[in-house]
Amino acid sequence: MDQDLVALAEACGVATRYENSDQREVEVDEDVVVAVLAQFDVDASTPDAVSRELAALREARARAVLPPTLVLREGTKHDLPGAGAVHLEDGGTREVDGSVPADLPLGWHRLVVGDQDVVLAVVPDRLPEAPPAWGLMLQLYSLRSAQSWGMGDFGDLATTVRRSAEELDAGVLLVNPVQAISPTHPVERSPYSPASRRFANPLYLRVQDTEAFARADDDLRARVLALAVPAGTDLIDYDAVWDAKRAALELLWPHHPEPVDLDADPALRAFAVFCALAEAHGPDWREWPRALRDPASPEVAAATAELADRVSFHAWLQELCHVQLDGVQRAAREAGMSVGVVHDLPVGVHPGGADTWALRDVFASRVTVGAPPDAFNQQGQDWNLPPWRPDRLAELGYAPFRDVVRSVLRHGDGIRVDHVAGLWRLWWIPPGEPPSRGTYVHYDAEAMVGVLALEAHRAGAVVVGEDLGTVEPEVTRTMHERGLLSSAVLWFQRDWRAPGEPFVAPQNWDPDAMASISTHDLPTVAGWLTAEHVRVRADLGMFDGPPEREYEAAGAERRALVELLRREGVPTDDLLVALHALLASSASKLVLTSPADLLDESRQPNLPGTTDQYPNWRIPLPATVDEFFADERVRSAVAPLRAARPLPRHTDG
């Protein structure tokens, strides 16, 4: 590859080579590099264009005295080219000359030197240690109860939080992303492809728990309850659930308190306007009339005035979400959970959703992110999520990322960052290319991790990073240095250098981790033990080689795991209980299990690499919430977890 192109790509953070999952170096095709650079508005189509772009970039950087955002760890000095001032977040001012002092308080400040005025974030060097605990990891939509309408809701979540602490001594509960969708058909099923990561999903509202329902008369309540979608064991029908809840909430809308003051929250106004326009023109703003694709256009202002009632309605739904999510967090604290509720943060947002409409300049909208090929996904993955542009994040003081983290932690005691390696780099796939034809784009990890740590510190929250799959060692090492927990999954706890990849004994697992047997993207216990995951992928033609080879590998894995159980002295007559005993003996600080595993559900929640070929995110649990807590086998399976990480109980005196 031309060395000027390599230098230009490196200056923009675009990789021209990388190490794959087999630890072999791969050189990126030149046309892929050129296509990704175009997402930065950088023309690399010809050698002359590359030379011009490289010269302009070097000249611009030579002129800059300060970077657009400066993120410093607490207690750190930073040299400056001259005198200036730090305008502190609390309104005070500190004069500086030659360096940023090391005693600045944590927070979001501004640094002025010469004619440059940049964001200065002072962030924690390390977060406090999380207490040891065990708990549940929930796919909220899969819960069922007599009160919920066709899928789990915030009421089910509050009940599960309270009962898991009070009856099972759980100290932590991890819940799938509950971020907002577009309020249209078809309803987006994946919680990892929200329309916005800054707002909540009204699909999870419990209609009967709203203040408006409490104010309603008996006749209106009966009309509302008549709309309920009964819970069942069939696949979840998101469209039917949303139709029922929207109709019910519209009946209750006239009984709501005073409307939300949208002038006080421009971000909420923009989101509510998007929802109102989506109802009229469809869920994807890229397919709207051209004049409505720009939030600042006069046509959008006119439409907002015309749809004022719908805008207020969608803002009200967000208020209801906040109230019910506050109730979930309160239930965890009142029940004495030692960690509390951990909310999951997805990697990105839907390309035609509310966030990309309102904040389009921050996104590289013509590419998607995913993952290169690996052992579990031999063709690679395309998640159909547009990435943030790292240069735009820095120019905006990382405010878009800060606001996302704040919104998640508004109701959480912790945050799990899905694909945490994305704070370092993301796999960008150019338009029209398969997942295998992409390259990594690098982010300023010191800044991204620092912003995450600062917001978690302010919320008193724990941070867990999902660092599974092809992840550079630097990611996990840095997380541990900064007090972030990594992830440990039994299926991946192997000695990859040993013949046959034997499982690693649990006492040798990472202590600074959140450990589990499986995840939502991997086989359940029942599915793994019966090779259901192999059968499904074979039926869908997802293997490059013969399925027989995969069945043989799955059988060898089972035998190796049973051998580990025997070496650890764990009885193997009931493998579900045995695997939880093994998990309980791990060195990891937090250990989690899922209701799907505890209830012998063989189908995994999501099968990466599929859309409609598999019922992703639509599989309900085979038992109701009440039945789950009454199940003696569930209690037997979690007994080792309770014994290994008891929930501290505070008594008077």
Q: Is 589 helix (H, G, I), strand (E, B) or coil?
A: coil
What phi and psi values does residue 533 have, to the nearest 5 degrees? -65, -30
347: helix, coil or strand?
coil
- The answer to whether 435 touches 381, Cβ cutoff 8 Å, is yes
What global pTM score does this model have?
0.95
Are 325 and 194 members of one domain? yes
Is 289 a domain residue?
yes
Shared-domain flag, residues 211 and 302: yes
Verify that 78 and 110 share a domain, yes or no. yes
Nearest CA to 444 out of 79, 119, 26, 4 is that of 119
Please check whether residue 110 is in contact with residue 120, taking contact to mean a CB–CB distance below 8 angstroms: yes
pLDDT for 651:
44
How is residue 216 annotated by DSSP? Answer: S
Domain contains 255: yes
Provide the pLDDT for residue 455. Answer: 98
Asked if 313 and 194 sit in the same domain, the reply is yes
Residue 329: which region, alpha, beta or left (left: phi > 0; alpha: psi -120 to 50)? alpha
Q: 23, 42, 63: which is the final residue of a domain?
A: 63
Structure tokens at 93: 């001012």
For residues 20 and 102, membership in a common domain is answered with no
Does one domain contain both 58 and 94?
Answer: no
Phi, psi of 637 (to 5 degrees): -70, -40
DSSP H or E segment with residue 371: strand 368-371
Burial of 328 (0-12, 13-18, 19+ CB in 10 A): buried
The mean predicted confidence, pLDDT, of the chain is: 94
With tokens 């990480």, the residue in question is 645
- Half-sphere exposure at residue 612, Cβ-oriented, CA atoms within 13 angstroms: 2
Tell me if 258 is assigned to some domain: yes
Which of the listed residues 15, 39, 63 is the one where a domain comes to its end?
Answer: 63
Tell me if the bond preceding 608 is cis, omega within 30° of 0. no
Range of the domain at 25: 3-63
Residue 73 Ramachandran class (φ > 0 left, ψ -120 to 50 alpha, else beta): beta
Q: Count of domains in the chain?
A: 3
- Answer whether residue 46 is part of any domain: yes
| Domain endpoint, select from 102, 123, 144 | 123
Residue 42 belongs to a domain: yes
79 and 58 in a common domain: no
Q: Give the model's pLDDT for residue 376.
A: 63
The CA distance from 98 to 111, in Å, is 13
Same domain (yes/no): 204, 283: yes
Kindly state the DSSP code that residue 398 receives in the 8-state scheme: T
Domain assignment of residue 291, yes or no: yes
The CA-atom distances, in angstroms, between 66 and each of 81, 117, 121, 387, 431 are 9, 9, 14, 25, 34
CB neighbours of 311 closer than 8 A, spacing ≥ 6? 262, 269, 272, 273, 275, 276, 304
Residue 2 amino acid letter? D
238 and 325 assigned to the same domain: yes
Give the span between the Cα atoms of 120 and 117, in whole angstroms. Answer: 9
DSSP state of 66: S
Residue 122: CB atoms within 10 A of its CB come to 25
> What's the pLDDT at 375?
67
Q: Which pLDDT tens digit goes with each residue over 548-586?
A: 999 999 999 999 999 999 999 999 999 999 999 999 999
- Sequence-ordered list of residues with C-beta below 8 angstroms from that of 89, at least 6 positions apart, any chain: 105, 107, 108, 109
What is the pairing mode between strands 17-19 and 340-345?
A: unpaired
Do 232 and 109 share a structural domain?
A: no
Instruction: Tell me the chain's radius of gyration from C-alpha atoms.
Output: 25
Q: Give dist(CA 519, CA 533) in Å, integer.
A: 13
Residue 203 contacts residue 166 (beta carbons within 8 Å)? no
Residue 221: how many other CB atoms lie within 10 Å: 16
Same domain assignment for residues 45 and 80? no
Name residues of the chain where pLDDT drops below 70.
257, 375-376, 650-653
Tokens for 245, please give them. 């809840």
Do the domain assignments include residue 224? yes
Residue 302 lies in a domain: yes
CA 633, 639, 641, 645 dihedral sign is positive
85 and 21 in a common domain: no
